[in-house]
Structure 1
Amino acid sequence: MFIILLMSCSGFTDSNIIIAENGKTNYEIVLLGEASESQYESAQELGKYIKLISGAELNVTEESSQTDGKGKIYIGRSAKRKLEREQISIRTENGNVYLTGGSDNAIRNAVYVFLEAYFDCKWYAPGVEEVPTQNKMTLDSINYAYTPEIVTRTVHSRLFYDNPDFADKQKVTHESFPYYVPEARVHTFHKFLPEEKFYRSNPEYYALRGTQRLPTQLCLTNDHVLEIVKDSVAALFERYPEATVVSVSQDDNQQYCQCDNCSKIDAQEGSPAGTMIRFVNKVAEAFPDKTISTLAYQYTRKPCKTRPAKNVLITLCSIECDRSAPIAEKCKDFADDLRGWGKLTTNIRIWDYTTQFTNFLAPFPNLRTLRPNIQLFKDNNANWVFEQHSTNPSELFELRSYVTSKLLWDPNLDFEGLVTTFTNGYYEEAGPLIKQYIDLIHDRLAQNEDFFLFLYGDPSEAFDSYLAPELLKEYAEIFDRAEAAVKSKPEVAARVKAARLGIDYAILEACRKNLTEDFSLMVRTENGQLVENPGIKKIIEDFRTVCTAQKITLMNEMGFTIDEYYSNYLDALNIAKKPNKALGKKVTTLTKPKKYADEDPMVLTDGALGGSSFYANWLGYEGNDLEVVVDLGETHDISTVSMAFLQVTNHIVFFPTSVTYLGSLDGDRYFDLGLVTNRTPLNKESKVNDIQYFDLKFTPRKIRYLKVEAKNTQTPYWHHAAGLPSWVFADEIIVD
């Protein structure tokens, strides 16, 4: 329910309530009824900010001890005016002020709305606030009420998790999964039936894929599976009696069960969500006073026919969507699914995504989609919204956290006004320039209607769009001016430098790719000598320094660290300096690559070096081995060969088990140069995101043709993508 009662002056034309003047006050803060500790803290918080605004100190007292002859600011639950649980009310009556709500949480929200709406207090980030001072603190008559339609509002940002007081000011939760059992928040099938315990003895508990049972998902028509899950849920609720929600949800893959019983139900229901909802409903029936959460995610996103039980919470996930425009425009299938679930239940939780998870710090111009997307969720029974930032800092992290929290509280707020308020307040004199950058990069993306802005994309995809070379230069110039505008303010300058990280990262990746003469790792001097680009070393050093100062440690969700990125980039610079007899030489692939790098084997000798994402200049082979031949053009004496390979285990990208190098003089008869095995064989503890160089040194040999054979690592049965082919991703071949 959404209620706004217009603020009016009820016939008054001048300020009629004087809270404080010249540092003095005739008001006190009064706690209504039997006040809780939370209500007392809200009163203390109100008093703190009134003192900051006016210099006057208001006493906090209970209703039974209030002082005759003083004005009152009442805080708590009103016995006369019954409010809904989340509803807030701010009103004046007979010279007194009433800040009330239907719960402790709502009362706290009422205090912060009062300070923000009527005294222009602003909280931009932890420790960064704006509290205007007033010699005379006055109020006109007020009659305001509001009930947020999105009841549980979560912004997945450490700014809120590490600073609960800041979360309170922005009216979002202190944690990512409030009310949930900590051990069962999402992707829980493998926790209820771990393959290490059950798979070998009872493979029938797991998904049938083709002719084989694999521990990717559970068989949801197996009665023993149902009983084990119910027992596990009961044990979890017993262990965490204060928790009210448990997730009974699929693991993070699409390898669901296709046995006859499961397939029959899914066909009847018109979606694989059919077996899921029928199964979860049976679990929920055993726990009528608790909530069982499940996912409508990837293969279960499409609604089925069976209604979820009243105590089943549907968590609908928008992971596939194009972020270049609102979901209703660019991801209509998701919007249709949302409307479909909205017809089946009013118990919907949205899991939305706002950051590029493969590159936290990359420019990701999706800010203009936040408001229409949240409005879409609100209009379709989503009373619980989880906006997944990266937890750890991502591009324009403070701005994203601020704007998203504001829109979750009130989806009708003016987006442009929110951004301008934040940039001017947080970046001060540099604010208009940061806003200019935000507008420009979003405008440029909007000009490319076919661009798919993906959560798992890479800056390299945008080098002919909103990150084109001429735009990178323009963005950098804007940030140069922004830094100059606040150079005398070290704290504000540090914020601007953090905002600049996205563009610096894009420039670093453009140089790694040798995008242009200006954006390259090596440049040619007047006498034709190739030397290290003098500007690039400064950018990578500044990048690391700013990240360290801002306590930014991660590059992506796979755990690739800033230190690893820095080290990897220095390695790339060193590799770029190496003499390479294969540079620019013709490459022929004997096995077929797929999709990435335009399937062009010449990327292996183009001098551009791959980054931590498979989009970034890597040649990919799915389900087959890599076999390529490089023609050096003439016979050379060589003694070293090196080739880089990428690993991203959660995307089924593994290092090869081995790489064999062979040489030939005629391209027909080959001889072994040597074999290099993977020094970190794949296991459950393998590093998720990594780059490994398969280096070989040998006694000098004369060759013209170099053959490389990289053996694909098969997807193991315990991997979440068991049954699917794995990838080999390779990059630059270095020969000397």
Structure 2
Amino acid sequence: MFKSFNAYLSKAVHCLLIVIVLFSCEDKNITLVNNGASNYEIVFLGEATQSAYQSAETLQEYIQKISDVSIDIVDESSQNTNKHKIYVGHNSDENLSKHQIQILSDQENIFISGGSDEAVSDAVYEFLERFLGCKWYAPNVEDVPKKSTISLNKNLNYTYTPQITTRTVHSRLFYENEKFAAQHKVTTKAFPYYMPSARVHTFNKFVPEEKFYKSNPEYFALRGNKRLPTQLCLTNAKVLDMVKDSVQSLFKQNPEASVISVSGNDNTQFCECGNCKKIDDEEGSHAGTMIRFVNEVAKAFPEKTISTLAYQYTRKPCKTKPLKNVLITLCSIECDRSAPITQKCTDFADDLKGWSKLTDNIRIWDYTTQFTNFLAPFPNFNTLQPNIQFFRDHNTKWVFEQHSSNPSELFELRSYVMAKLLWNPDANVDDIITEFTNGYYHEAGPFVKSYVDLIHKELKNYPDFFLFLYGDPSQAFDAYLNPDLLKQYVTFFNDAEKAVANRPDILKRVKVARLSIDYAVLEACRKSVSEDFTITETTKALVGNFMSVCNEANINLMNEMGYTVTDYGNAYLKSIEVALQPNIASGKKVTLLTKPKKYANEDPQALTDGALGGSNFYSNWLGFEGNHLEAIIDLDEKKEVKSISTAFLQVTNHIVFFPKEVTYYGSVDGKNYSKLGTVLNQFPLNKKSKINDIQYFDLKIKPSQWRYLKIKAESLKHAPYWHHGAGLPSWIFADEVIVN
């Protein structure tokens, strides 16, 4: 009897424990969907703005994608009293700031709210990602879990206010796909709220050189003893009136715009007249004249925001405080990207600290890719987070992270990481990268991640390396792109391709990801960095594959100067033709009669070393600033010469122009020279000149015997008055001399 009672009691207790556990589990969870059914409806709160309703539709869409269950959307007056609720919109019971989001539960109900329509959208996507596991890697590439039952913790209590409130990643992935931008909580425009026609570098727009320079040179900058249309004279009262009138006219034409840029042209040729110099001296910065001028404009438009640049010569803070409606846009263009700004760009860091003491209205214009080589390896991922955290900590509410807009190295990954960090600067970067590489490249993901990890690790082994926005892969062939490492990177991507060989859509993504290494390999071959990387007949196939992958992925541009993939491919094929043809000048001694500067180590032998220059002046070009090129090549003995060719580079925005003409001379004794001929520049410089180009100055002559050849390339010496570098010495860059 006793034994039987104990057994009964034990069984009863066991059953009671099961009931308690079941009720306990039930108490802790909210079940939105249970085995293909739901007792929930989505209620949008407040006025049914289009944006708020779209947020409710987004929630409905993804719950259905996850569970195949469509939950009804209703307004507050149409609620079903028998259903639980997911409230979406502005929660009147909560006093949320404009950018704040909140995700709460109350019994069985869920509240997804924000302090504005934009914040409500952010809250919905945060709910979908954080609590339902949705991921968006690229437009039309998402990871949505499939579940017949959706359960959540009953005690939801999440609130977040982003400290960076205007977040822009300069990527066409976001600009061309508004939904993708919303998923990542970034803007769909590079310059939201701005006057479309006055976003940056506006002085020439307000006071056009073409219209006023000849008649009113006093409106423009005094440089030395000459007025030049590089910048405006900011102490000229008529200039101030003209700018105010232009601003007023533009706001009347575009009343919806709330921000306009009143900012200098893209050069450092500021006005040095007595009045401007006096102010700048008083202020301790060339920003002095700028801020006083912009403040006067801002006074006339108190309901609008006047943006100006703290950039290059105006980056150092002045003493005068910007008015409340003046937006200071601080630009980090000069910085070394191999380490955080606070470590390797301390001048910029000090300037930001200085401006943050003067104003809390700061916009950072940051740069995250190599603008002379969009597709080049650019290992700066380790700097992104500390830089953004530094910006945040110094009154920055608006960050513009300038990618190339057009595809650059690991474009999708860069866009993803930057958006994540702008939303939460304290997120774990390695986790973000791993999440993306595994989600976007699938089985190939670990190999892509291995490449990312290794190239960043190797960069750290070269603490003196300057990772520059206007650099070139050739600078790293002794560092993180040395031949042994290039071979390892190639192996990573070969293995990545093998891992997804039977998945064409994923394989295509991997091929695009490896473009940066393919590009580095091509440039290594161009420079003949080792026996494994040199130009041969097979290099043509590498060029063809590179162009094919770019074309299929709709990648058209190589750099910010408009140099296209087609330009690059054709120029490279030409360089292969040049490299493979006989050259009796190859390796011969070069004597310079004029002095080069800085580039190619100022080594005369750059003209005959067999390494060919690319589209960037860092890539094996011998440069001459403000003077002509004059060089003599000693062929060792008299040889028959039929043709001579020299390549020259043009990068007009960096004041690099083709020579006006190139003249070739021959001599048998090194003393007396005969003129062989002159080749004129086929593309004389003008305002519409191609920004980035290579031209071969070819001369064919009657076969004759010469030991010494002299080359004279005539430089423009100075930029023309209409160029942003007016008055500054211009460059010519020469490459391999081919003699046959």
Query: What band does the TM-score fall into relative to the shorter chain?
Result: over 0.9
Q: In the TM superposition, what whole-angstrom CA distance separates every residue of 1:346-365 from its partner, at most 9, and x where no partner exists?
A: 00000000000000000000
Equivalent residues of 1:221, 1:261 under 8 A apart: yes
Match of 1:669 among 665, 668, 672: 672
In structure 2, C-alpha distance between the alignment counterparts of 1:493 and 1:361, rounded to whole Å: 18
Distance 1:71 1:223, change over 3 A: same
> Match of 1:719?
723
In structure 2, C-alpha distance between the alignment counterparts of 1:225 and 1:602, rounded to whole Å: 51
SS of the aligned residue for 1:591 comes to: coil
* 1:176 lines up with 2:190 in the alignment: yes
Distance 1:111 1:236, change over 3 A: same
Q: CA deviation at 1:16?
A: 2.2
Match of 2:396 among 382, 385, 397: 382
* 1:583 lines up with 2:559 in the alignment: no
Q: CA deviation at 1:542?
A: 1.2
* 1:597 lines up with 2:600 in the alignment: yes
Match of 1:103 among 108, 116, 133: 116
Amino acid at match of 1:110: A
Amino acid at match of 1:356: Q
* 1:733 lines up with 2:740 in the alignment: no
Q: CA deviation at 1:503?
A: 0.5
Structure 2 counterparts to residues 146-545 of structure 1, below 5 A: 146-522=160-536, 532=537, 534=538, 536-545=539-548
Q: In the TM superposition, what whole-angstrom CA distance separates every residue of 1:615-652 from its partner, at most 9, and x where no partner exists?
A: 00000000000000000111112121100000000000
Amino acid at match of 1:77: H
Q: CA deviation at 1:30?
A: 0.5
In structure 2, C-alpha distance between the alignment counterparts of 1:593 and 1:601, rounded to whole Å: 8
* 1:63 lines up with 2:79 in the alignment: no
Match of 2:141 among 128, 141, 149: 128
In structure 1, C-alpha distance between the alignment counterparts of 2:137 and 2:546, rounded to whole Å: 24
> Match of 2:563?
560
Q: In the TM superposition, what whole-angstrom CA distance separates every residue of 1:218-260 from its partner, at most 9, and x where no partner exists?
A: 0000000000000000011011000000000011100000111
SS of the aligned residue for 1:241 comes to: coil
* 1:83 lines up with 2:115 in the alignment: no
Amino acid at match of 2:359: T
Identity %: 63
Amino acid at match of 1:83: L
Equivalent residues of 1:24, 1:55 under 8 A apart: no
SS of the aligned residue for 1:119 comes to: coil
- Give the TM-score normalised by structure 2: 0.96
- Give the TM-score normalised by structure 1: 0.96
Equivalent residues of 1:603, 1:617 under 8 A apart: yes
In structure 1, C-alpha distance between the alignment counterparts of 2:287 and 2:733, rounded to whole Å: 34
Q: CA deviation at 1:309?
A: 0.3
Amino acid at match of 1:581: I
Amino acid at match of 2:454: L
Q: In the TM superposition, what whole-angstrom CA distance separates every residue of 1:431-487 from its partner, at most 9, and x where no partner exists?
A: 111111101000000011000000000000000000000000010011100110011
In structure 1, C-alpha distance between the alignment counterparts of 2:335 and 2:597, rounded to whole Å: 23
Q: CA deviation at 1:15?
A: 4.1
Q: CA deviation at 1:538?
A: 2.4
SS of the aligned residue for 2:243 comes to: helix
Q: CA deviation at 1:333?
A: 0.8
Equivalent residues of 1:281, 1:312 under 8 A apart: yes
The CA RMSD measured in Å over matched residues stands at 0.9
* Structure with bigger gyration radius: 2
In structure 1, C-alpha distance between the alignment counterparts of 2:347 and 2:239, rounded to whole Å: 32
Distance 1:111 1:212, change over 3 A: same
In structure 1, C-alpha distance between the alignment counterparts of 2:144 and 2:360, rounded to whole Å: 40
When structure 1 is superposed on structure 2, of 677-686 and 134-143 the one drifting more is 134-143
In structure 2, C-alpha distance between the alignment counterparts of 1:384 and 1:146, rounded to whole Å: 17
In structure 2, C-alpha distance between the alignment counterparts of 1:156 and 1:449, rounded to whole Å: 29
Q: CA deviation at 1:169?
A: 0.1
Match of 2:657 among 650, 654, 657: 654
Amino acid at match of 2:91: S
SS of the aligned residue for 2:575 comes to: helix
In structure 2, C-alpha distance between the alignment counterparts of 1:249 and 1:559, rounded to whole Å: 24
Q: CA deviation at 1:103?
A: 0.4
Q: CA deviation at 1:698?
A: 1.6
Amino acid at match of 1:114: F
In structure 1, C-alpha distance between the alignment counterparts of 2:520 and 2:44, rounded to whole Å: 54
* 1:547 lines up with 2:550 in the alignment: yes
In structure 2, C-alpha distance between the alignment counterparts of 1:394 and 1:103, rounded to whole Å: 34
> Match of 1:613?
616
In structure 1, C-alpha distance between the alignment counterparts of 2:721 and 2:116, rounded to whole Å: 50
SS of the aligned residue for 2:364 comes to: strand
Q: CA deviation at 1:22?
A: 1.7
SS of the aligned residue for 1:653 comes to: coil
> Match of 2:5?
none
Q: In the TM superposition, what whole-angstrom CA distance separates every residue of 1:1-50 from its partner, at most 9, and x where no partner exists?
A: xxxxxxxxxx9786421101122111010011212011111111110000
Q: CA deviation at 1:337?
A: 0.5
Q: CA deviation at 1:94?
A: 2.1
> Match of 1:710?
713
Deviation >6 Å, runs of 4+: none
Q: CA deviation at 1:537?
A: 2.3
> Match of 2:704?
701
Unaligned runs of 5+ in 2: 1-23
> Match of 1:114?
127
> Match of 2:10?
none
In structure 1, C-alpha distance between the alignment counterparts of 2:693 and 2:220, rounded to whole Å: 31
SS of the aligned residue for 1:386 comes to: strand
> Match of 1:73?
86
SS of the aligned residue for 1:284 comes to: helix
Equivalent residues of 1:35, 1:76 under 8 A apart: no
* 1:48 lines up with 2:52 in the alignment: no
In structure 2, C-alpha distance between the alignment counterparts of 1:606 and 1:318, rounded to whole Å: 36
SS of the aligned residue for 2:523 comes to: helix
SS of the aligned residue for 1:634 comes to: strand
SS of the aligned residue for 2:339 comes to: coil
In structure 1, C-alpha distance between the alignment counterparts of 2:107 and 2:606, rounded to whole Å: 77
When structure 1 is superposed on structure 2, of 342-351 and 20-29 the one drifting more is 20-29
SS of the aligned residue for 2:658 comes to: coil
Unaligned runs of 5+ in 1: 1-10, 523-531
* 1:637 lines up with 2:651 in the alignment: no
How many residues matched?
715
